[in-house]
Chain A
Amino acid sequence: VQCRVGKRSQTFPLIAAIRDLGLARQCTVPNLPLHAFPFIRGSLRAKFIIVIVSLQVALMATVTVVVDRNQHEAIMQQARLRALSLAESLATLSEGYLLGYNFAKLEQVAERLTAHDPDVVYSVAHLHDGVVAAYSGRDDLQGTILDDPISRRALQAPAPLVQEIVIPETQEPGYDVAIPVIVPGGAKKWGTLRLGFSLKRAYSLIHETRRALLWLSLGAIICGTSLAIVLAMRISRPVGDLVAAVQELAQGSYNRPVQVAARDEIGYLAHAFEQMRISLLRHLQCEAEERRRLEESNRKLRDTQQQLIQSERMAAIGKVAARVAHEVNNPLAIIKTAVRIIRNQSPPASPTTSSLQMIEEEISRIARIIQELLEFSRPTTPVQELVQVNTIIRDLDPLLEQGCREKHITLKIILEPDLPLVIISSDQLKQVIFNMVRNAEDAMPQGGDLVICTAQRGQWVELGIVDTGCGIPAEHLEHIFDPFFTTKRRGRGVGLGLSVSFGIVTAASGHIDVESEVGKGSRLRVRLPAVQEAHGEMNDG
């Protein structure tokens, strides 16, 4: 479920879901932060409880009112019927005595009925002219005419009459039932029999029923409320769990599964979220992989570009160097021969001779530099052959060992057996190794450790030269293969060694790279393509 919000088109699936359920109408979606959810969660639960309880109270109130009223009516009806039937019985019993003016018997019947039934408050027998013939418990009223409105209406009634009264003695509600006595077959009224019926018992029954009803309602409301609370908890807990899980997801922890123990719509929603999380995770992983690949190819591209720039620059410098070498060599030869002529003419042990010798030596140095330059700029085309790098290193070992011993350097050679062959000129490879070892030695004027190692790295044969020297500062690293780049003391080198090595290795389709840390040392790595077919160590003792 998704809902689009405002211009940002951001999705708030959960809110949409809640809104669809009609439970979060008041929540303002666009500015809703996730931490507002506990409030909504609480509200959801409370609302559910309030709605259920209100419904229940309303229902119970209606039921109570209706039942109470019906009960009230039924009880009153029953009381009325009972009063009537008692009055009828009184009439039936007293009719004969009334016709015969047997006042004593009438009195007796009235007294007995009153005493016999607790609801009967009084019973009265009136003669046809309204004179009291008998009055239970009130002998003093015999022979009188009652003048109160109730009595008057009762005496005038042509048919049985029930009147609501307040019983004077107890101030309780009651009925006054009057039954006229008609002579059978005639129309003459012989008298009236009246009965006072107390409603005390009926009312107490009504009260009792009402109380019971109220208790029952209260019990039902309490039970219903408890049930509603439990239910609300059960409904809101999965929602809470879901919100917590989604919140975590929103904060970027994609590895935690969204799990809610519910098999309803919330469970379904959680399942949908879980699916979303999985595809999101997959997508992210794909993206990371893609980015990594992209970075890798970017890096390769940059390296290639760097190498290209390097070789372009070297080719240009090479041309310039060749021209300069050529132009300088002739004057140099002239100077040198001239100096030799003067020296030949000077006495052997004079200061002039030694000065001239110095000049000659310096000229030789210039000549050497120019020789290096020429080597660099006019690479010969040496014989490319199948070469076992391990063999070359073993051949050089005594020479290297001697050089290192003089400089207090511990040389360690680690050769991987069964190294594939490479195609390169063995003389040039020796030159490369010499150059690199000389650099390493120069980096360790106080001595140190030098490791020469070989290894196979996939399609490459790798030659590593690791020293514990002074290291190369980062700003120099990209220039170390440039011709004439040197940080060595004057006279120790002209900065062509690595440049020439670079040219040799590149011509053999290999590459050189260098890692270095100032104060810790450097690691030069030469990689040459391995020749797959001719495996094994050739000429290797």
Chain B
Amino acid sequence: MANRPEILLIEDEANLRHNLTVLLESEGYRVSCAKDGAEGIRKLQEASFDLVITDVVMPQVDGFQVMEYLKDQVPDAVVVAIIA
């Protein structure tokens, strides 16, 4: 199971976060969730992920700030941004 790619999903909308998690897991990925940008960055500091899926428009710390962080700290990270 450990060789399955792990995705970090940052999404403030709980329902969407849940649905996406279910869908991605059904495709065989491991999914770690964060409910906003701040939590996402914290998780990124703790572990590394194969893919980061982030919403752009979020309260407080938004998707752009997450990407700024990644650009600085994990330049080779692969990011998918979700916009409305």
Query: Which chain A positions have C-beta within 8 A of B20?
Result: 337
A341 contacts B22, CB within 8 Å?
yes
Which among A329, A333, A340 has the highest number of chain B CB atoms within 10 Å? A333
Task: Take A325-B84, A329-B84, A330-B84 as given contacts and tell me if A341 and B13 are in contact as well, using a CB distance cutoff of 8 Å.
Answer: no
A330 contacts B19, CB within 8 Å?
no
Bound Cα distance A337, B82 (Å): 13
| Majority SS at the chain B contact face | helix
Closest chain A residue, CB of each to CB of B19: A337
Whether B60 sits at the interface, judged by CB under 8 Å, is no
Query: Which chain A positions have C-beta within 8 A of B57?
Result: 326
Query: Which chain B positions have C-beta within 8 A of A340?
Result: 19, 23
Query: Which chain B positions have C-beta within 8 A of A344?
Result: 23, 26
Whether A21 sits at the interface, judged by CB under 8 Å, is no
Closest chain B residue, CB of each to CB of A330: B13
- Across chains A and B, the number of contacting residue pairs, with CB separation under 8 Å, is 30
Query: Which residues of A (330-346) have their CB < 8 Å from a CB of B?
Result: 330, 333-334, 337-338, 340-341, 344
Whether B16 sits at the interface, judged by CB under 8 Å, is yes
Query: Which chain B positions have C-beta within 8 A of A326?
Result: 57, 84
Interface string of B47-68 (1 = CB under 8 A from A): 0000000000100000000000
Closest chain B residue, CB of each to CB of A345: B26
Query: Which residues of B (18-38) have their CB < 8 Å from a CB of A?
Result: 19-20, 22-23, 26
Task: Take A341-B23, A341-B26 as given contacts and tell me if A334 and B15 are in contact as well, using a CB distance cutoff of 8 Å.
Answer: yes
Q: How far is the CB of A334 from chain B (nearest CB, A)?
A: 4
Query: Which residues of A (311-363) have their CB < 8 Å from a CB of B?
Result: 325-326, 329-330, 333-334, 337-338, 340-341, 344
Q: How far is the CB of B18 from chain A (nearest CB, A)?
A: 9
Query: Which chain B positions have C-beta within 8 A of A330?
Result: 13, 16, 84
Q: How far is the CB of B53 from chain A (nearest CB, A)?
A: 12
Q: How far is the CB of B72 from chain A (nearest CB, A)?
A: 28
B13 contacts A334, CB within 8 Å?
yes
Task: Take A330-B13, A344-B26 as given contacts and tell me if A338 and B19 are in contact as well, using a CB distance cutoff of 8 Å.
Answer: yes
Which among A329, A341, A344 has the highest number of chain B CB atoms within 10 Å? A341
Query: Which chain B positions have C-beta within 8 A of A338?
Result: 15, 19
Bound Cα distance A341, B16 (Å): 12
Q: How far is the CB of B22 from chain A (nearest CB, A)?
A: 5
B16 contacts A334, CB within 8 Å?
yes
Query: Which chain B positions have C-beta within 8 A of A329?
Result: 84
Closest chain A residue, CB of each to CB of B16: A334
Bound Cα distance A326, B26 (Å): 28
Bound Cα distance A329, B82 (Å): 11
Bound Cα distance A66, B7 (Å): 150
Bound Cα distance A338, B26 (Å): 13
B84 contacts A337, CB within 8 Å?
no
Q: How far is the CB of A16 from chain B (nearest CB, A)?
A: 87
Bound Cα distance A329, B26 (Å): 24
Closest chain B residue, CB of each to CB of A332: B84
Bound Cα distance A330, B55 (Å): 11
User: B-side interface residues toward A, CB under 8 Å?
Assistant: 13, 15-16, 19-20, 22-23, 26, 57, 82, 84
Q: List 5 A-B contacts (CB under 8 A).
A: A325-B84, A330-B16, A337-B22, A340-B19, A341-B26
5 further A-B pairs in the complex, CB-CB below 8 A; given A326-B84, A334-B15? A333-B82, A334-B13, A334-B19, A341-B23, A341-B26
